Amino acid sequence: MLKHRRALAWVLAFACIAGAIVALFDIETPLRPFLISLFLLFVPGAAVVGLLRDRDPLAALSVGAAASLVLNVLLAEAMLLFNAWSPRAGVATVAVLGGFMYVLRVLYRGKSMQTEQGARAR
């Protein structure tokens, strides 16, 4: 079961990377709408779920899905408000924000691992 989850995670990761590449380099393919949508919906949600890993799994997934939709809607609204609509910029912004949340997750995990080790030593 764990192997299947890990394989699914890798497939989703590669599909999201492909979606970002397709959008940023304007590659025409029949899978373009699916890959870009997958990227825009999955990346922010996965980043938020990674930050909430210690919480109830269903609650973390719900918050991740909501955060993903909110981030995409706010980004689209901001681009329309400032008359700066650009699908490439939208994908790049989502990628940067997802990367930033990943860095926060790594820093948070490193800090919690150090405090756990310090607590065990006592």
SS (H, E, C) 13-34: HHHHHHHHHHHHCCCCCCCHHH
When pLDDT is averaged across residues 1-12 and rounded to a whole number, the result is 86
The verdict on 74 and 94 lying in the same domain is no
Encode pLDDT of 8-44 as tens digits: 889 999 999 999 999 999 999 999 999 999 999 999 9
> What does DSSP assign to residue 85?
-
Quick count: other Cβ atoms within 10 Å of Cβ 90?
A: 19
Q: How far is 75 from 85, CA to CA, in rounded Å?
A: 10
When pLDDT is averaged across residues 104-109 and rounded to a whole number, the result is 85
| Orientation angle between helical segments 32-51 and 2-24, nearest 10 degrees | 120
Number of domains in the chain: 2
The verdict on 64 and 96 lying in the same domain is no
Q: How far is 41 from 4, CA to CA, in rounded Å?
A: 22
Say if CB 53 and CB 72 are below 8 A apart. no
Which range of residues forms the domain containing residue 90?
86-121
The verdict on 7 and 65 lying in the same domain is yes
Q: Mapping DSSP to helix (H, G, I), strand (E, B) and coil, where does residue 52 land? A: coil
The verdict on 5 and 43 lying in the same domain is yes
Q: How far is 97 from 40, CA to CA, in rounded Å?
A: 11
Token digits of residue 102: 């990943």
The verdict on 68 and 107 lying in the same domain is no
Encode pLDDT of 44-103 as tens digits: 999 898 888 778 889 988 999 999 999 999 999 999 999 999 989 999 999 999 999 989
The verdict on 15 and 39 lying in the same domain is yes
Mean pLDDT of the chain: 87
The verdict on 8 and 63 lying in the same domain is yes
